[in-house]
Amino acid sequence: MNGKTIEVIDTDAEGRLTLADALAFATTLKPDAIIDFATLTGSVVAGLGDQVAGLLGNNQPLLEAVKKAAASAGEMVWPLPLVKEYGETIKSKVADLKNVGGREGDAIKAALFLEEFVGQTAWAHLDIAGPAYAEKDFNVYTPEGGTGFGVRTMLHYLRSLAN
């Protein structure tokens, strides 16, 4: 949507292509901030397990606000860095970007890929691949099955804006 071309290296990483267009579209609406949730990478599950979402983005105050909202909501998130040097791995010789940049640090590389579509808009991404589905009851708020992870965090975040 924003004119960037993408070399598809891994067809199993197709969701980030759709999300890229959604983010690019969202920027046309001139929002103050964009917060997205996606079951983006298995690597975030390997690093953080099945109850913690990875939190990445380009705006520290927004990331802190989302982290605080998650804590208030009882949902666990952990900040991961956007290591700019990893961006070299998603550069392509035949397009603007590759949709993957290798296995190591994939959650960070996937977020760097998405960052290419938000421009200067404040943006936070939650990789919810781990906590999106519970294999067994975790607590009263998280029974077995689809968890709705992030809904409570967003409610707390939006309430914080009203204060």
- Break the chain into its structural domains and give their ranges: 6-162
The correct CATH number of 6-162 out of 3.40.50.300, 3.40.720.10, 1.10.760.10, 3.40.630.10 is 3.40.630.10
For residue 116, is pLDDT > 80?
yes
Q: Which candidate, 57, 48, 41, places its Cα nearest to that of 75?
A: 48
DSSP lists the bridge partners of residue 54 as 78, 127
Q: Tell me how far apart the alpha carbons of residues 91 and 69 are, in angstroms, rounded to a whole number.
A: 34
Q: 140: pLDDT confidence band, cut at 50, 70 and 90?
A: confident
Predicted confidence at residue 138, as pLDDT, reads: 78
The confidence band for 137, taking pLDDT boundaries of 50, 70 and 90, is: confident
Q: Helix 106-115 vs helix 15-28: angle between axes, to the nearest 10 degrees?
A: 30
Q: How far apart are the first and last CA of the chain?
A: 35
Greatest extent of the chain over all pairs of C-alpha atoms, in Å: 50
Confidence of residue 143 (pLDDT cuts 50, 70, 90): confident
Give the pLDDT confidence score for residue 83 in this predicted structure: 97
Arithmetic mean of pLDDT, 17-25: 97
pLDDT at 128: 97
Using an 8 Å Cβ cutoff, are 100 and 86 in contact?
Answer: no
| Type of residue at 21 | D
Write down the residue that tokens 């906590």 correspond to. 131
